[in-house]
Each structure stands twice: as C-alpha cells, then as structure tokens.
Amino acid sequence: MPKEGSKRYRKAAELVDKSKTYVLKSAIEVLAKFPKAKFVETVDIAFRLGVDPKQSDQMVRGTVPLPHGSGKVVRVLVFAKPGPGADAATAAGAEYVGFEEMIKKCVEGWTDFDVAIATPEAMLEVRKLGKVLGPRGLMPNPKTGTVTDDTAKAVKEVKAGRVEFKIDKAGNIHVPVGKANFKPDQIEENARAVIEAVAKAKPAAAKGTFLQSCTLSTTMSPPVRIDVREFASV
C-alpha cells in the first residue's frame, strides 16, 4: 500500500471505535469523517453469514434494487437472437446485443461488460459459456432476473441500480451500496435495502444466528461494524 494510502488508512482507523457496533446512521456518519481519496470511492457493505456454503440448501443469492442506484455505469450485454427481444434490449440502452457473434467473443475470452442478460431461447447456447462467465459472476440466471423474455425491463432494472448478491466460499457477501459522494440518507436507504434483502434470503436450512456480522466501508477505508439488531427482519 502506498505511503499516502497507509497514512490515510491509519487516520481513518483512529476514528473507528473497534470495541463497538454502530447503528447504520452512525456508521455512515463515521465514514463521512474519513480522509478522502483522490477518486470517488465506492461504499460497500459486507456480511459474514451463519451458513455452510458447501451445502446446496444453504445457498444465499438474490437481487435488490437500490433506491438511489449504485452510482456506477453498468455495461450490459444481452444475448438474444434478432427480433423483438434484441430490439427491445437495444432500445432500453444495452451496450451490447447479439447472439452468435457475442457468444463467439465470450468464448474467445471477452468479458468487457458488467451484467449479462439472456432470453430463455438464447440460454440454450449461452449455458455453454459457464466456464467463461461463471467464475466471473457474469452467467445469466433465472433466479436473478437475468434470463427473461422481457429484456427491456431487465436492462432498465440493472441500469437503474439493481444489484446482485451471492455468498462466497467463505460464507461472506459483499455488495456495493453507492459512492462516497452520495448524500448520507441515500447511502442509508441503499444499505438498509440490502441488509433487509439479505436477511430475508435466509435459507430454511440455516440454523442459529444468520447475520453474524455486518460492516460498512469505502474502497480504501477500514470497516465500521454495524449493529444489525436494529433491523426487525433479522
């Protein structure tokens, strides 16, 4: 880490009381006091969940619309054969729309996009891209609304700020909830939406405390622990 970054990180760490958990509003107030980086940092929320990711019946995955968007320009690829689905995707603002030529580009290693959407018809071929798109978290999936005939709706929702969350092998989830230049209430509303969505995604097979820990941080900052007991749905 560069000296400037280390110095900034240490200054930020001094503002965090590591012995306590903060209510969401207070955690955001702490973030706002951190020294600023030379770029607009992303605000992330991270969870440690009380599930076993190795068990298929304890998978945690879903999507949630952020009330104020993510602040990120989302590049969308839509796999669709020529016709209404492709036309609707283009009209809705998808950066890349196509079928055979797009599949070929992906096979060759191209992944210069943030979200992939596919029509059910196109998925018959797109599913063969699992080894390319899967490891990068780009594979279209019906559970996240990215396999659909309503391509226009899917494109608009993704670009408006719908984010996906999925547990990793260590039992953690990381989700962006905005940018450091968002207003505090915008970050709070986005973060609250994500916390409640993850809490509601608790698998029936999960036992004990589901949300074991939750932290808020920016790209270059230390984490601030959030007291999730303020959320009735937890």
Q: What is the dihedral of CA 138, 126, 119, 162, to 10 degrees?
A: 0
Provide the pLDDT for residue 1: 39
Residue 172 burial by CB count (10 A; 0-12/13-18/19+): exposed, middle or buried? middle
- Supply the pTM of this predicted model: 0.78
E strand or H helix at 195, and its extent?
A: helix 184-200
Which of 108, 141, 160 marks a domain boundary?
160
User: What CATH number does the domain containing 125 carry?
Assistant: 3.40.50.790
Q: Which residues pair with 117 in a beta bridge?
A: 78
In-domain check, residue 1:
no
Report which of 109, 125, 108, 126 is spatially closest to residue 117, judged by C-alpha positions.
126
Identity of residue 204: A
In-domain check, residue 192:
yes
What is the per-residue pLDDT across 116-160, written as a single tens digit (0 to 9) for each? 999 999 999 999 999 999 998 899 999 888 999 999 999 999 998
What is the per-residue pLDDT across 44-60, written as a single tens digit (0 to 9) for each? 999 999 999 899 899 99
Domain that holds residue 89: 76-160
Q: In the numeric block, which tokens belong to residue 41?
A: 């940092």
What is the per-residue pLDDT across 7-21, written as a single tens digit (0 to 9) for each? 889 999 999 998 999
Which of 160, 185, 207 marks a domain boundary?
160
Percent of the chain's residues with pLDDT above 70: 96
Contacts (Cβ under 8 Å, ≥6 apart) of 173: 46, 47, 49, 60, 165, 166, 167, 198
Count of domains for the chain:
2
